[in-house]
Every structure is written in C-alpha cells, then in structure tokens.
Amino acid sequence: MTRIRAFHPGDEGALADVCLRTADAGADATGVLTDDRIWAEIFVLPYVAREPRLAFAVEMSGRVLGYVVATSDTEAFEDWFRDEWWPVHGARFPRPGGNPREIEILAYADGRRSGREPYGRTYPAHLHIDLLPELQGQGWGRRLIQTIVDELRERDVSGLHLVAGSDNLGALPFYDRLGFSRLPSPEGVQAFGLTL
C-alpha cells in the first residue's frame, strides 16, 4: 500500500537518500559532489529540523520513496539556516577548489539569508519536493503539493514558491499544470509562485 503520511523522527536517513537520488535535475546525484551528504544538509534536513509539521513522506510497503518539505516563512527560515543550521552542518564540508558544481552549491548555502530570495515577500512559504522514479507519473507529486498547500492554508500563509533547475525538464511543466505561475528568474533556474 502506498500512502502520504506526516514526517516521523527517524525518517531523516530515508529523506536524505531520496534527496540524493533525485538531486541531479531529477536524476541520481550519487558521486556528483565529493560528499553526498551535502545535498540533504541543504535541501531537506534543515526543513524537517525547523518545521517538522510541514514535512510529509510518500511511503510504500514501509519505504519512503518521496517527500515534500516546506517552511511557512522563508525570511525567518533563511536567517535561521544562516545563524543556526549551516554553521554546524556546513562546517563539515571543506570548501573545494576543483569541483565547480560543489563550489556553486556550497556558495549558495554560505550566502543564504533573509532578503536574498526575492520571492519570499510575495510568496512567503517555499517548498522542496522529490519523488523516486518508481512513483513519478502516478499523481503522488500532485498529492504531495496539495497536502502542503492545504497545511499552509490552514496556517493562513498567503503564498508559496519554489525554484527548480531550468534543466529539470520533467518538473517545469508539472508546476505549470498545478497552477503555479512562472516568476522572473536568474539564468539556470526557474522560480514558480502560487497564491494561496
């Protein structure tokens, strides 16, 4: 049986694995960086640490195969990430000199702070969603998005945004179909916003 359920403490390893196996524009990113843990330490684990009630998993036969995580307040989250999360977790990763992708990702994490994401004022919440290939195309992504949208509406959050790599060609039309609007974005990414 496959179902969406709330995040449980102890899910962190499974979420990190899903993050890693989908981090390269939806493909497996194992070995892309010198330390595979970097992906989850930036894109999933801080969210479940700060706002575990805004994290949901897709579970099939006891295995977590996908998730959505969010923050209801991007500005506050980014300052918390900078001041509390990243000084502890980011210190584990030496700043490399040779892997351009890793340099870029760690620079992004090092520079996170309130006001850096221009979408946070109009769309204060943001999310990250990942599904392993065996669940894609079956409506689970749509259900995860609806689950987080419902939770954010209950909290009276006015808008939600996300940012996808512009090379993630499977994801971009998915967000269009769900009613997200494309927002002006820097080269290499596409931001989407949804008024709640």
Per-residue pLDDT tens digits for 84-116: 999 999 999 988 667 899 999 999 999 999 988
CA–CA separation, 36 and 72 (whole Å): 27
The pTM of the full predicted model, rounded to 2 decimals, is 0.95
Angle at 126 between CA 90 and CA 128, to 5 degrees: 65
Place of tokens 């099939």: 60
Domain extent listing, the chain: 2-157
Angle at 99 between CA 88 and CA 70, to 5 degrees: 45
Given the candidates 3.40.630.30, 3.30.230.10, 3.90.1300.10, 3.30.2130.10, the CATH classification of the domain at 2-157 is: 3.40.630.30
CB 180 within 8 A of CB 162: yes
pLDDT at 12: 98
CB 45 within 8 A of CB 21: no
Q: Can you tell me the mean pLDDT for 119-130? A: 95
CB 123 within 8 A of CB 194: yes
Closest listed residue to residue 19, CA positions, set 5, 8, 33: 33
